[in-house]
Amino acid sequence: DGGITQSPKYLFRKEGQNVTLSCEQNLNHDAMYWYRQDPGQGLRLIYYSQIVNDFQKGDIAEGYSVSREKKESFPLTVTSAQKNPTAFYLCASSPGYRVKNTEAFFGQGTRLTVV
């Protein structure tokens, strides 16, 4: 089935460690996005990518890094520089920047807990 997959669903890490969250899509979408959601809050954009080998900072990029080496993959690394990394992370994809009137598809999220 086509879709967007995030793994793992739950992730625990010790403070000071970098951790990479996986996001894969088989929808042949050009655009991919990473969001962070804190309890009771809305979604905040971390990074987004409209094409392979290109990405842009969102509203809260500090302490995060991404890569887009392949069209279907957009991993997010939460670095030790991120002061409050515990959150629910959501990945999304959409057909591309040339087409604005299309929907975005979201993964089921990764809940990261840093202890």
Q: Which stretch binds another protein (CB under 8 A): 14-22, 41-49, 67-75, 79-87?
A: 41-49
The first and second tokens of residue 83, run together, are 């002061």
* Contact pattern for another protein over residues 69 through 88, marking x by CB under 8 A: -------------------x
Helix then strand then coil, % of the chain, to nearest 5: 0, 50, 50
Give dist(CA 53, CA 21) in Å, integer.
Answer: 18
Number of residues that bind another protein (CB under 8 A): 29
* Closest CB to another protein among residues 16, 39: 39
Cis peptide before 75 (omega within 30 of 0): no
What's the number of CA atoms in the CB half-sphere (13 Å) around residue 48? 17
User: What's CA 1's distance to the chain center, in Å?
Assistant: 21
For position 63 contacting another protein by CB under 8 A, the verdict is no
Shortest CB 24 distance to another protein, Å: 14
Q: Which stretch binds another protein (CB under 8 A): 11-19, 65-73, 79-87, 96-104?
A: 96-104
The first and second tokens of residue 99, run together, are 């087409």
Binding site for another protein (CB under 8 A): 31, 33, 35, 42-45, 48, 50-51, 54, 56, 58-59, 88, 90, 92, 94, 97, 100-101, 103-109, 111
